[in-house]
Amino acid sequence: MNKIREILNTVLENRGKPQINSISDSSDLRNDFGLDSLDLAELTVRIEAEYDVDIFQDGIVTTVGEILEKINNKK
């Protein structure tokens, strides 16, 4: 989960948004971190580059837990 937090912080930093110190499975990408559609697109590209999985392949993901589930299902 630390790598996911690092990726999220990179996206947030690129948009001039505040960094996050902790995340949980229930953390909401839009409501908790303020990600918009452009941020989510960057997040998708970065996660795909790191884990070789398209988190939005089967539809919208809204939480960190859903991202982790996609990554874990790929293995």
The average pLDDT across 9-24 equals 95
Q: Which domains does the chain have, with CATH numbers?
A: 2-74 (1.10.1200.10)
For residues 42 and 39, give the distance between their C-alpha atoms in angstroms, rounded to a whole number. Answer: 5
DSSP symbol at 18: P
Instruction: For 38, list phi and psi in degrees, rounded to 5.
Output: -65, -40
pTM higher than 0.85: yes
User: Is the pLDDT confidence value at 75 over 80?
Assistant: no
Distance CA 75, CA 71 (A): 7
Q: Cα dihedral sign for 39, 2, 29, 48?
A: positive
- Count CB atoms within 10 A of the CB of residue 42: 16
Q: What is the pLDDT of residues 18-69, one digit of tens each?
A: 999 999 999 999 999 999 999 999 999 999 999 999 998 888 899 999 999 9
